[in-house]
Every structure is written in C-alpha cells, then in structure tokens.
Amino acid sequence: MKVQLTSPLDMHLHLRQDDMLKKVAPFSAKYFSGALIMPNTIPPITTKELLLEYKKAILDATKDFTFTPYMSLFFQNYDKKFLQEIKNEIVSIKLYPAGITTNSQNGVSKIDIDEIGDTLQAMSELEIVLNIHGESNGFVMDREKEFLPIYEVLAQNFPKLKIVMEHITTKESATLLEKYDNLYATITLHHLFITLDDVAGGLLRPHLFCKPIAKRPEDKEALLHLALNAHPKVMFGSDSAPHPKSKKEAPGCAAGVFSAPVILPLLAQLFEKHNKLENLQAFISDNAQKIYNITPPKKVIALEKKAMQIKNEYEGIVPFMAGETIEWSVQ
Ligand code: NCD
Ligand code: ZN
C-alpha cells in the first residue's frame, strides 16, 4: 500500500538556533515543503533584524532542500507602522502567556483588550494571523480549558482576525472551534497518539513530556475525530520541540517532544488504521494553504506500508517513539 503527499506543511515547528538548528532543521526540510517557525528563541524574535537573521540561518541550515520557512513574530505590543513594514516577511504573530512554556518569559502577562487590543486591531486590518499558546497558569490538567474564555473574548472582539488555537489537547477546544468562524486549530502528532497515561501512568516517560500536557482518552478521541476527517479549520502542526538529551533526562525535565524525523510515516499509519488515508492530504497541507493563504513549493513525498524502526537518537536527540518499529516508511 502506498500514499503520495503533495507539499506537506508543518504549521507549528520549533527549529531552535545555532548547532541545534543545524542538527534538526534538515529532518523537517527533507519531508516538508514548508513550516511555520516558532519565535521562542533566545532572545525571542521581536524585531525585523532578528527575524531576517533567523530566517537566513534557517535557509542556510536547509539549503540542500526545497523548504520555505514561514516566519512568525513573538507577540508583544507593536505599532501599526512597524507591522506594515514587516508584514511581507511574516505570516503570523505568536502569543505566549508569560512563563507558560519554554522561553516564554517575555510573553504577555495580562491578555485583555485594554492591554493588547491596538496590536490585535492592527493585525486584523493587515490580515496577520494570531497564533496562541492557550493555557492559564492554573492546575496543569485544566490550563487549556481555563483559557477558552480568553479565546472567546478575542474571537468576538476581532471577528476578522484569524486566531489559531495552537496544539489543542481537549474536547472542549474541539467544541469551541465550531462556535466562531475566525477560530482555527493545529493538532500535533503526539497528541493523536498519547494520553497522560503514556506520560506518567507507568514508568515516567520524559520524552513524552510537553506543554500542553497530554490529556484524557476522550480528549484524544476528539482530536482524532477532527484530524482524521480533516476538519477544514484544523491543520497539522507538530510542535516538534527538540531539547538536548541532558535537558530531557534530568530531575527538571524540559517540556517538548521531538517528532520531526518520524511525522509522515506515523500519520500514514494512523490514517490508514482508521481507513482515512484519503483525508491526510487536506490535514497535512491543503487546509493550511487555505487558512494561511500560502502556496508552498511543490514537493511530493511517497510513503509505503513497509516496516521501519525508529532510531533511538537523531543527532543526539531522542525522538518520539524512539526504538519502536512502525508500519509505514518514506519510500
Ligand atoms: C515548546 C518548546 O520547547 O519550545 N515546548 C513544548 O512543550 N511544546 C514550547 C511550546 O510550544 O509550548
Ligand atoms: Zn510549540
């Protein structure tokens, strides 16, 4: 059995910087036609200089491949003139609540219209997409649910602003998606495969620890329903977030799952298992092209149902499902 995917897109990707960037970027660039690059670097991407410098570093690290880095700015209050100037270099701005995840110390401490409304209005007028890491600072299992009222306020007040709920993990988020025309979502690979039980129900699995934390079986089912049916408001975004092994296998484990090298075979396996292979193209590319209004370079990836063993490490970084044998591989 085989499937061909045209111009796969990863609409939520952490590529890091320097040596780590050089190590991990080829895994995405080899299989994907483009990706939305997260701006939670050190320092975060908040100026045109930083943005262009980062884009150049990514292009250098991926020069052997046809790959478009779609750039995103780290949310802070920006004036409209600046946004107008940078508009052609970015597709979106990513908002992190302050301190909620890796390198988000400079995020927004109070997400309300009085504080950030002018920037959101300017984004809306300039048709810049808003990506949000939607978690409160409450109890870890409730953070995403507690954030939903903020999505509602933003969606209501800025009906023309496209808002992407990043890496959704709950059935409540899946439901909210239907309530506002301007809400969209990304879903990761790992949240389609695991629940909290896989992370902490048996032996503790640090390589499955990420933000937002994987939730309950019924939440995973809701995400599967959206992804397998390629709901038109939903896109694939891996949230592949590499950390050195020493930061993962540590008393304080960094949040992030490194999935970049194994995404397409695992998605093919999952969609085939549910008899939905025909919907994978929309989930992995077509929906994102429409939502972001982008046309990535053409790149065809052929996958076949042929067993493959995932390596224990790629460039010293432990991937999702390390060491496991899976049913599909890239041809
Ligand atoms: C991401 C990272 O390491 O940059 N970590 C994660 O657990 N997903 C940040 C993020 O997207 O939350
Ligand atoms: Zn992320």
Would you state the pLDDT for residue 125?
98
CATH code at position 167:
3.20.20.140
Q: Could you tell me if residue 214 is inside a domain?
A: yes
Which atom of ligand 1 lies nearest, measured to the CA of 100?
A: 12
148 lies in a domain? yes
**Three-class DSSP labels, 111-179:** CCHHHHHHHHHHHHHHCCEEEECCCCCCCCCCHHHHHHHHHHHHHHHCCCCCEEECCCCCHHHHHHCCC
Within-domain flag for 234? yes
Q: Which residues of the chain have pLDDT under 50?
A: none
Ligand nearest to the CA of 199: 1
Ligand 1 binding site (Cβ under 6 Å of any ligand atom): 14, 40, 101-102, 133, 210-211, 239, 241, 255-256
Q: Tell me which residue has its CA closest to atom 5 in ligand 1.
A: 256
Residue 219 domain-assigned? Answer: yes
Residue 184 domain flag? yes
Position 64 scores a pLDDT of 98
Residue 306 included in any domain: no
The pLDDT of residue 207: 98
pLDDT given at position 9: 99
Residue-level pLDDT at 77:
97
Q: What is the pLDDT of residues 110-134, one digit of tens each?
A: 899 999 999 999 999 999 999 999 9
Strand partners, 10: 35
Domain range enclosing 232: 9-263
Which atom of ligand 1 has the smallest separation from the CA of 167? 11
- Give the number of domains in the chain: 1
Distance from residue 11's CA to the centre of ligand 1 (Å): 14
Q: Which amino acids are annotated catalytic?
A: 239
259 exposure class (CB count in 10 Å sphere: 0-12, 13-18, 19+): buried
Report the pLDDT value the prediction gives residue 115, as an integer from 0 to 100: 96
Q: Is residue 285 a part of any domain in this protein?
A: no
Residue type, 128: I
Give the per-residue pLDDT at 74.
Answer: 98
In a domain, 274, yes or no: no
pLDDT digits (tens, 9 = 90+) for 213-238: 999 999 999 999 999 999 999 999 99
